[in-house]
Chains A and B, each alone.
Chain A
């Protein structure tokens, strides 16, 4: 097992390229991080009806997100317990049972038939060849012991001892809420537009979540897109301007954002769809409702955020969720899900969909810039000589200030690598194999969450 403390040097702000290209370290990540951390699985809109399923990933494992006939959401390992065959080879659909095409073992999620999700209900030859001696209850599909539906987003962990999801999230919750809640400030209410965009990129999976949480100075990469102007109304820039923008890290949890510090008085209304008067009228009405709904309650704006280890999101326009699934040290599978308020007019949904697609996804102009950087950085770091050297993460070291309204949060300033250092601090803690008491001790020492946060 590779000792990582010399590779992730947080005291000096340098990180070895090995953690981005090394196969042994990648295997450790699968065991220490992806087998234990809370992972984003999908959105409830992917399984709206009983017997619906959607095939997702947890690390390199294929998993099936299902909604059973009792309306419970489950996450099952997509591998037959007999010979390991995938019991589900479609991306999405509706079925009452998952039947392995190899030998016909059949698994059900229907609580009327079974006691646990994915229980083995049908075995060919159970009577004549197994002589009814096969203990079917012990040979069901492996299922995640902890699954949470948080405002429509589905999260799961393989580790039964993992803390509750909200503990894992900490006060990062307020920033995730800002992405998932209705624009008028009421809880929840967002829905998916279309399906999940999926594509593979020849880069290490960590480039993306790191890039999403504070790498403001890489905007030079997007210079051409900014000049062209791909914003909602085709103006200059790529997305809504975030007034009061900074970067905030949750150093004990590894999460981080680009956005605002907590505030109580709403910023002035900004027009974002100037070419669409109908949409603009609706958004102004939503803004007025937001003023009324939130009053002087604490609030934040999230431009971009990352939940450790591999889920990121855009909180405003565009509103999307991105997931970075590890495939190998030098390849990841990236997913994008696009969100909009469920009750917004169709005109907004259509305009948002067009804007989101020209911004993000495999054909998105901003995304293309990023993918090129991550891919060539990975390739150039894998060389025999190149991998001897460390990356530099020293920007803004020693200049962070605590955010008093939020537990364990640090304001790193708009241009800083503080968020990345926090992310890799958490990465190191997981990779060292700390147990959950060790992993959560610092966060728990900050006490209870704010009641109005």
Chain B
């Protein structure tokens, strides 16, 4: 995981990020506003959110880093 110098604008669909609560998200879209990206949960403390498989807005400050 690389949490140094994370440039939100560089995130591309397919990238995986880890959130501060431990959730893992696969990026599906990056509108480039520098605040939000869209993605689907691959792992989450609440399993129901993974099963929902729906696209979610992910807030920049909730992203701990990129999963390599």
Contacts and interface: CB of A to CB of B under 8 A. Distances in A.
A97 B55 contact: no
A110 to B, nearest CB: 9
Contact of B33 (A99, A121, A125): A99
B57 A122 contact: yes
A104 B29 CA distance: 17
B35 interface: yes
Chain B interface size, under 10 / 10 to 19 / 20 to 34 / 35 or more: 10 to 19
B59 A124 contact: yes
Contacts of A96: 29, 31, 38
A122 B62 CA distance: 12
Interface string B24-67: 00000101110110100000000000000001010101100000
B35 A121 contact: no
A344 interface: no
Contacts of A101: 35
A80 to B, nearest CB: 12
Contacts of B57: 97, 106, 108, 121-122
Contacts of B29: 96
Most B CB atoms within 10 A — which of A95, A104, A112? A104
Interface in A94-122: 95-97, 99, 101, 104, 106, 108, 112-113, 121-122
A124 B35 CA distance: 9
Given A96-B38, A112-B55, A113-B55, A124 B61 contact: yes
A122 B55 contact: no
A106 B36 CA distance: 8
A82 to B, nearest CB: 13
A97 B31 contact: yes
A124 B33 CA distance: 14
Contacts of B38: 96
A264 B43 CA distance: 71
Interface residues of A, number: 15
Given A96-B29, A124-B61, A106 B55 contact: no
B31 A122 contact: no
Main DSSP-derived SS at the A contact region: loop
Contacts of A113: 55
Contact of A97 (B21, B33, B61, B62): B33
Nearest to A125: B59
B35 A99 contact: yes
Nearest to A94: B31
B35 to A, nearest CB: 5
A99 B55 contact: no
B61 A95 contact: no
A424 B29 CA distance: 51
A187 B30 CA distance: 40
A127 B62 CA distance: 11
B55 A104 contact: no
Contacts of A108: 57
A125 B35 CA distance: 13
A362 B59 CA distance: 43
Nearest to A128: B21
Interface in A327-362: none
A96 to B, nearest CB: 4
A104 B36 CA distance: 8
Contact of B36 (A122, A125, A127): A122
A239 B32 CA distance: 46
Most A CB atoms within 10 A — which of B21, B35, B38, B61? B35
Contacts of B31: 95-97, 99
A73 to B, nearest CB: 20
A121 B37 CA distance: 11
B8 to A, nearest CB: 12
A97 B59 CA distance: 13
Contacts of B55: 112-113
Contacts of A104: 35-36, 59
Nearest to B20: A128
Contacts of A121: 57
Contacts of B36: 97, 99, 104, 106, 122
Interface of B: 21, 29, 31-33, 35-36, 38, 55, 57, 59, 61-62
Given A95-B33, A99-B33, A122-B59, 7 more contacts: A95-B32, A97-B33, A101-B35, A106-B57, A122-B36, A124-B62, A127-B21
Closest 9 CB pairs of A and B: A122-B57, A96-B31, A99-B33, A99-B35, A124-B59, A106-B36, A121-B57, A104-B35, A122-B36
Interface of A: 95-97, 99, 101, 104, 106, 108, 112-113, 121-122, 124-125, 127
10 contacts: A95-B31, A95-B32, A97-B57, A99-B31, A106-B35, A106-B36, A112-B55, A113-B55, A122-B57, A124-B62
